[in-house]
A and B are shown apart, each in its own frame.
Chain A
Amino acid sequence: MSARTALAALLLATFALGACGDRPDVWDTRADGVRAVGLHSSIALVDDAAHRVLVASPVSGVALARRSVPIGKGVATALPSADRRRLFVLCSGDVPRKKADDQGPSLTIVEDGGAASRRIELQTPLSGLAIDPAGRWVVIYPAGNGRTFVENPNQLVLVDLAAAPEKAVTFRTLRSFGGRPQRLTFTRELALPGGPRHLLVVETEQDLTLLDLDHVQDAIPRPEITVRLTNGLSARAPRPAGVVVDDGEPGKNDDARIAVQLANDSNVFILTLAPNPPGPAGPNDFTPQVNLADVGGPATDLAFVRTDGGLRLAAIVPSARKAVLIEPGTSITTDVPLPEAYARVSLVTDQVAPGAPGGVGEVALLYGGGSSVAFWSLGRTSGQPYRSVEVVNVAGGAAEITSVPPPNQALKVLASPGATGFYVLDLKTRTAAPLTTQRSARIAVSPDGRRLWAFAPGTENLAHIPVSDLAPLPLPLDRPIREVFDVQRGDGGRALLALDARGATGLTLLDAERPDVRAGASFFGLLLEGL
């Protein structure tokens, strides 16, 4: 035997021995730190180390089905669709790609339950994900924490979920005057001069871009419209801090409006999406007409409201302890002094008086103040441009409001971070029922609107609170809780999944409608399954 032959034999033997005792690398990775996303009838555990999503679905009773869905490497973002029927997982792949079989960036769409999935390959690893509430579009954008050496922050990848795979992806680089996208907003369908349109509104640090999504895939794509918020005379850049959109009056196609609040300026921008002026046709079939209204301080929230006097834009100005009603057509402002410096406004007309005819005056809920919330009735009365502001005191404040879905849509959960308690606000009776907790708690509202779940993260403390009587039922679990999910069960009932992220992730499964820890089931080491 020659020396070369002997060496080859030795290498072969060594390789064979090594292969016998080897196991996948995933077994050497940590299984904690998993992201959990609640879907309609399942929860998805994003197992980045194993390049998969483990979907756990309560089937019936306390049975739990599990499916493993492969995803790409390097999870950047994982978000559910608005209806929680899909999970979008954005992965950066191997960065940098040095070998032929290195993975590229991708977007994986996992259907609720994990029975189906779809993977879209991308060109550039991006980390931001914006999802159309209507479910048609996903926009991938650089969120500033990407892994590539050079990024163009104005590069967008638009994914049309309704299009054929070969036409689903469109790449666009937005025109920039120095800004980079900070927030993306999908409008609902707007009646514009050229027909119904869905727009993507992109806020940068200094301007606004409108992209016509219905024509983004044209053979000659329509360019985006950039609305610069600076007049070019000052280095100071008004910084957009949020937009609200109104479609205008039914039957009209020239009165859709977008209002922009600014973080560092007392003006509010109002864009009316008007027909193009006569003359040579522009690339888009509408043009934004810009208007300003000074509201006396930075607005922290906006809402289009319909009053007895017509459409108004309500701006909340906590620094001046007031709200301002702006007539969009004339920029005329009317101050409404408020009893407290509220920061947020939410229209609750539909919850208070569902089906009420328009124009009779809406009702808005003001919150984000120190010790109260207020009902703002927008109808006009003699001598003042609104009907009333009625205060409901909530000690501890209400920094966050969570809506209770139908059939109990008249209820809101008021909570503040770190508070040992919360309120259930009844919009119809204008009462606020306090519920106290021994320690800071988190509240989960069931999607069927029938119950609340209160739990203290990191502890075994869990309580079930039916909204019908708000009588808490303690449900102490055996394991510390990280999150809870109230999902639909395969048999039509509802299940509570309490996640314990210690170790290889465990779950406690209860019947959500008749919770009883004695009848529940626990599952351990979920991330060790299916590898």
Chain B
Amino acid sequence: MNVRSSFGFDLVVGGALVAALGACSGTSALADAAPRGGAESAPSDPTSGGGSGGAAAPLPPEKEVESSYEVPVATKTFVWVANPRSGRVAYVNAASLEVKTVEAGNGPTHLAAVPGQSDAAIVLNVLSRDATLLRAVNGQVSGKSFKVGAVANTWAVSADGRWAIAWADHRKVQNAPRTQGFQDLAILDLTEKVPPVVLAVGYRPVSVAFSEGGAQAFAVTQDGISVVDLSGAGGPIVAKNVPISDTPIEDPGSRDVSVTPSGKLALIRRDGSSDVTAVNLETSVRTAITLNGPVTDLDLSDTGHRAVAVIRDTATVAILPVPQIAVAPTVFTEVKIPGETVGSVALAAGGNTGLLYSNAIAAERVTVLSLLPTPPVFRTVKLYAPVLAVFLARDASHALVLHDKVAGAAGAFSLVPVASALPARIVETKAPPFAVAFSDAHDRAIVGERGATPDGYGAYLARLPQLTVDRFPLASPPTAVGLVAGAKRAYVAQQHPDGRITFIDLDTGTSRTLTGFELGARVVDGSKP
């Protein structure tokens, strides 16, 4: 996963977090895609948020106040939407489209799906500084409150659903003074075996992830990687802080940090540097891996056994074995991609296939790199518009490429067969596409588009491997797309003061829009006294 920080460095937290998202059964926009595009693009790159929404200015047609509703999250059957104003969370059964609400704390705002359970979500109540765990059993949702006690705006949830960490991503806080370090992590044991605890980590964390098994958590901060031991008898503690630079007190500059799922190794890429640094998080030993030019992108596979570094100047891809690279820094495989400009890589789940591309120039091609054969093989796929970002289906059968600066069109995307050498299909859009999600079965993809006028509010349902596409116009600006695996429906959340979401049946393509979540939940049918 690639995250661009507001203070100037890129961060990649690898396998553990990707695995955690993947465990959500493909129910969120990020769960099944491997979104890339931040490494070379400007900070305003609309795809850097993966499956969630862009941040365009408020738009007509509906004269509306700021929406009360936050971006939704999806679990197996439900889509959950928080309403900070009402103090309630609306949950929509994506199968029946029934809308209900449940009371949360004061100012429920930030939601996260809780993996490992069929339908559960946790919401951060920003005014009461607590969290409510919402769990659906037989269609009935119950809530459980947890004290948070810290300023937070972001969730990290372990893959087994036991741990939830609320933390503050400073990039979501405008004009925060430097004296605000946002260093608190509120650690919640959702099984309630350990009481909630607040721990201080390094200055301004930009990512929080868990190790496989959830025994450790890692907070990547400006001071290094803070390692939190979750398995101690006395409860979670900050076990250590591992510097990731030989000169940690200097400005760290722009960098990507990836942590292996085991939590034993971190890989660091710095802009303009030919070195990739491997940091042993147990021993704090750092190892420099010198490549043949400045590394423009580094991606760690979700399995943690392989990392791929891209050197654009030399059109080289370095395939680094993990964790062996930390002790044998000169032993890796180099693949030259002659005649191509490649600066970024997107690895599919499993790490056996990667897509190489560049969005630093108007490159109208992507290169499919198969890492299983020895030596690795590659082929280049011709596209018909410059590449902005690449999203790979988890099974690496197809990719969806968002295009940038499309001459004569508002936007476009391409469906690219990856597993077979078939031509890509380009689809012109009415507005710039901004969000992508793949279905669990890898046979559908949903793309959101958002323009400046109502004509540009839409979503596209792509059928794979047929590469057919249907457009669904929307009544209001979309903010996020996703899929609800249990209901076989895609959803497109939209900006609306009373909440609006459109569901698209993945089989039939029929769409239904629900508007007014609180209203739908306030229908009284006499079934309750």
Contact = CB atoms under 8 A, between A and B. Distances in A.
Interface of A: 175, 222-233, 266, 269, 274-275, 277-280, 282-284, 287-294, 296, 329-333, 335
Given A289-B514, A294-B62, A331-B515, 5 more contacts: A231-B516, A274-B97, A277-B93, A290-B514, A330-B512
Contacts of A296: 61, 63
A280 to B, nearest CB: 8
Interface string B85-100: 1100000010111110
A8 to B, nearest CB: 66
A287 B473 contact: no
B523 A333 contact: no
B139 interface: yes
Nearest to B520: A290
B304 to A, nearest CB: 41
A291 B502 CA distance: 11
A292 B524 contact: no
B56 interface: no
B62 A290 contact: no
B511 interface: yes
B45 interface: no
Nearest to B97: A289
B515 A292 contact: yes
B153 interface: no
12 contacts: A175-B526, A222-B526, A226-B524, A227-B519, A227-B523, A228-B524, A278-B95, A283-B526, A284-B525, A289-B98, A294-B61, A333-B475
Nearest to B526: A223
Nearest to B476: A331
A224 B519 contact: no
Interface in B497-521: 498, 500, 502, 510-516, 518-520
Contacts of A291: 513-516
Pick from B62, B95, B139, B500 the residue with the most CB of A within 10 Å: B62
A507 B415 CA distance: 82
Contact of A331 (B97, B513, B520): B513
Pick from A223, A232, A290, A329 the residue with the most CB of B within 10 Å: A290
Interface string B400-414: 000000000000000
A27 B350 CA distance: 102
Contact of A290 (B85, B139, B472, B523): B523
A287 B98 CA distance: 9
Interface residues of B, number: 39
B516 A294 contact: no
Interface string B449-475: 000000000000000000000001111
A212 to B, nearest CB: 11
Contact of B139 (A277, A283, A284): A277
Contacts of A227: 519, 522-523
Pick from B63, B473, B475 the residue with the most CB of A within 10 Å: B475
A232 B518 contact: yes
Given A290-B516, A291-B513, A294-B63, A330 B475 contact: yes
A277 B98 contact: yes
Interface string B203-238: 000000000000000000000000000000000000
Contacts of B63: 266, 294, 296
B527 interface: yes
A233 B98 contact: no
A232 B498 CA distance: 11
A226 B519 contact: no
Given A331-B513, A333-B475, A231 B519 contact: yes
A279 B519 contact: no
Nearest to A228: B522
Per DSSP, chain A at the interface is loop
Nearest to A281: B527
Nearest to A208: B523
Pick from B93, B138, B514, B524 the residue with the most CB of A within 10 Å: B524
Contact of A233 (B68, B513, B523): B68
B64 interface: yes
A175 B526 CA distance: 9
Nearest to B519: A290
Pick from A225, A228, A292 the residue with the most CB of B within 10 Å: A292
Interface string B478-504: 000000000000000000101010100
A175 B68 CA distance: 29
Nearest to A326: B475
Given A296-B61, A330-B474, A333-B475, A279 B139 contact: yes
The 4 closest A-B pairs by CB, nearest first: A223-B526, A277-B96, A231-B518, A294-B62
Contact of B473 (A232, A233, A283, A330): A330
Contacts of B523: 225-228, 287-288, 290
A267 to B, nearest CB: 8
B389 to A, nearest CB: 28
B62 to A, nearest CB: 4
Interface string B118-142: 0000000000000000000011000
A312 B518 CA distance: 25
Contacts of A284: 525-526
Given A287-B98, A329-B511, A330-B473, A228 B68 contact: no
A489 to B, nearest CB: 51
A366 to B, nearest CB: 22
B14 to A, nearest CB: 40
A329 B518 contact: no
A332 B475 contact: yes
B45 to A, nearest CB: 29
B138 A279 contact: yes
Contacts of B138: 279
Pick from A175, A288, A330 the residue with the most CB of B within 10 Å: A330
